[in-house]
Amino acid sequence: MLDDLDDIHPLFHGAPSTTEFKKLRKRIVRNVREAVEQYGMIERGAKWLVCMSGGKDSYTLLAILYELKWRGLLPVELLACNLDQGQPGFPATVLPEFLEKMTVPHRIEYQDTYSIVTDKVPAGRTYCALCSRLRRANLYRVAREEGCSAVVLGHHRDDILETFFMNLFHGGRLATMPPKLLNDEGDLFLYRPLAHVAETDCEKFAKAMNYPIIPCDLCGSQDGLQRQQVKQILDSWEQNSPGRRQVMFKALTNIRPSHMLDPKLHDFLGLLATPQAGDNADAAKNSDNSIEIPKLR
């Protein structure tokens, strides 16, 4: 976006003019554009519900989507949405005032899921899993009410990596957050346009733009989370070997089912060798027994 023009979106008012920030902004825009195109997120004329938590990631997401829209690269309607879940101390006026000031179409939804979570989750257990499910259900409902075709979340590259290792270490499966997902009902997409963006870039961007960040630990259940432990492991690896996060993320896009162990993804039982020239006679001679598996005694 050319900031010397009069029609710059308010989300970019006051953007630093430093070379460092311009490179950062260009990198994030490029990464988001790659994800949007690579995973087929664009449906011309669609309407997206852009979820705003008030964290650095959601602010970055909203700003970059508007930049792509300004450039004519994102022909969709955007509706920002904040779900106030009733956490004690939540600054309920911050996001409405910000979005109104930025002239961003938005909807603020209040649903006291916090009381449900504290009632259902045993003492000492983290609230995150149930809280996330309740939040997702309400966002899907709002999306349907607003005529949206997709719910758009601010999960970035590091969230995807952390989820992969949490599933690996604690879930016994290889899985993570996909950049594009169809909900169980089949009527809404879930998009993660920041899938290629590093968390540090989101943090630098939101800080440079001086967006009003709302902390994510209002419920007080964050200490000792498995995700924090995984984050510390990844931080340690990155410190010892800079660039390792990007290499690991690339691995998630370069999977070889035949080199894994899941028979549901690769037909190991049906894998047969092709006889070499000259072996046809021997193969014919033993054809009656070639696929018979001897019984163990």
Looking up residue 191, the CATH number of its domain turns out to be 3.40.50.620
108 falls within a domain: yes
Total domains in the chain come to 1
- Average pLDDT for the chain: 88
Task: Name which of 167, 175, 190, 157 is nearest 57 in CA terms.
Answer: 157
Give the whole-number percent of the chain exceeding pLDDT 70: 87
Q: Looking at residue 43, what is its pLDDT?
A: 87
158 falls within a domain: yes
**Could you tell me the pTM of the whole model?**
0.86
Distance in angstroms (rounded) separating the CA atoms of residues 178 and 176: 6
213 falls within a domain: yes
3 falls within a domain: no
| Plot region of 174 (φ>0 → left; ψ -120 to 50 → alpha; else → beta) | beta
5 falls within a domain: no
β-partners of residue 145 are none
Question: Where are the strands (E) in the chain, listed by range?
Answer: 47-51, 77-84, 106-110, 150-152, 180-182, 189-191
284 falls within a domain: no
Candidate ranges 62-66, 112-116, 212-216, 291-295; pick with highest mean pLDDT: 62-66
pLDDT in tens, 31-58: 999 999 999 999 888 999 999 999 999 9
279 falls within a domain: no
Q: Determine the structural domain holding residue 58 and report its residue range.
A: 17-256
185 falls within a domain: yes
Going by pLDDT thresholds of 50, 70 and 90, the confidence category of residue 223 is very low
